[in-house]
Structure 1
Amino acid sequence: MKRILLVLVTVLFGLPAVAAELGDDGLHKTDWMRDTFKDLREDLAEANAEGKRLALFVEQRGCIYCTKMHNEVYPREEISDYIRDNFFVVQLNLHGDTEITDFDGEVLSEKAAARKWGLLFTPSILFLPDEVAEGKTAQTAAVAVMPGAFGAGTTLDMLTWVNEKRYALDLEEDFQRYHARRIQERQNGSTD
């Protein structure tokens, strides 16, 4: 009965459907997150084999901003579909003990990796390039980092900017300029 009520409210008010459930670790789980051995070089190779971009979603139990993203932003069809179609997402726990292998070969816990990478806030998303040079860490190799919770437009623009490799195309249009242009285009009714 609760599920039917949720669907009715979602349809009537145009709200995104709740797509994430809480896992045993207290983190939100979605169908587009991958359960891997957390060897980042292997994850990157698998992402490349699928023609997708590797993204590391760093979250923590009880994070109100993670909840906001999972309840209000990620469930939007255009965003969840875009992530599912274009990104290979590996979730990491800011305070987790699961071992990961960083690109530089160091094996450490999720929480030690988060400290190593200088991550203080959740959610944080690290977007990785197609290739990571020897000796680089996830943080030093990342082409972009999205620290914190943002609205649907900003999130979709960041996903698109990274996926289209716009960071490498035009130094005159960094993400902020790209995002400002996209906002203006949406206001003008043009999305080309």
Structure 2
Amino acid sequence: MFLRFAAALAATCIALPLWAAEMGDDGLYKEPWMRDTFKDLREDLAEANAEGKRLVLFVEQRGCIYCHQMHEEVFSDAEVSDYIADNFYVVQINLHGDTEVTDFDGESLPEKAAAQKWRVLFTPNIVFLPEEVPEDATATEAAVAVMPGAFGKGTTLDMFTWVAEKRYELDNGEDFQRYHARRIQERADGATD
């Protein structure tokens, strides 16, 4: 009897993620690597640069089943979570929120107006920023990549890696689709980093 209980308990523990993201008062998931900032994007960019990390904006909304999927199935994976924590400075934006955001162009507006200005229609929407942003650019105009929607672990990790390694720079010759296809093949072949 005890052995069956122990086996069932072990199977349950193995099936569960190591941790589950907390839910904030705003109805959005809160990861330990998300930053609570004043949402002044120039200040956030300076902080990210000072830490040697890349600024990334996570636009999410309460009740989003795809946001739930990303937090519960992808960001709960230690490899993905650790990579993000080590390389990115993450600021969460609420698609329908009222917290003031100061965009790179100096305009201050509620999160929901900023999301509308950036033409964000779906969540999750992950906006990757460069280390330097021109004075008159908006967040989405300056973005080096945008990941609209929910993706699995491999695609998500590949996108974060592609940005961290600056593979978006044209002289590299490998756009994200080619990079991702190569990484899929390498994983299928059993290659490791």
Query: In structure 2, the residue corresponding to 1:130 is in which secondary structure?
Result: coil
| Equivalent residue, structure 1, for 2:165 | 164
State whether structure 2 residue 142 is matched by structure 1 residue 176. Answer: no
CA distance in 2, matches of 1:177, 1:10: 38
Query: In structure 1, the residue corresponding to 2:160 is in which secondary structure?
Result: helix
State whether structure 2 residue 131 is matched by structure 1 residue 130. Answer: yes
Query: In structure 2, the residue corresponding to 1:104 is in which secondary structure?
Result: coil
Number of residues of Structure 1 aligned to a counterpart in Structure 2: 185
| Equivalent residue, structure 1, for 2:99 | 98
Instruction: Compare CA radii of gyration and give the structure with the larger one.
Output: 2
Give the aligned residue type for 1:87.
F
Give 1:94 shift: 0.2
Query: In structure 2, the residue corresponding to 1:166 is in which secondary structure?
Result: coil
- The partner residue of 1:12 within 5, 14, 17 is 14
Give the aligned residue type for 2:18.
A
Contact 1:16 1:77 in 2 (8 A): no
CA distance in 1, matches of 2:180, 2:107: 35
Give 1:22 shift: 0.8
State whether structure 2 residue 58 is matched by structure 1 residue 57. Answer: yes
CA distance in 2, matches of 1:168, 1:190: 25
Give the RMSD, CA atoms, in angstroms.
1.4
| Equivalent residue, structure 2, for 1:4 | none
TM-score by length of 1: 0.92
Give 1:58 shift: 0.3
Q: Any gaps of 5 or more consecutive residues in structure 1? A: 1-6
1:102-147 Cα deviation digits (max 9, x unpaired): 0000000100000000000000000000000110000000000000
State whether structure 2 residue 34 is matched by structure 1 residue 33. Answer: yes
Contact 1:79 1:156 in 2 (8 A): yes
1:48-105 Cα deviation digits (max 9, x unpaired): 0000000000000000000000000001010000010000000000000000100000
Deviates more, 1:166-175 or 1:83-92: 166-175
Give 1:171 shift: 5.4
Q: Any gaps of 5 or more consecutive residues in structure 2? A: 1-8
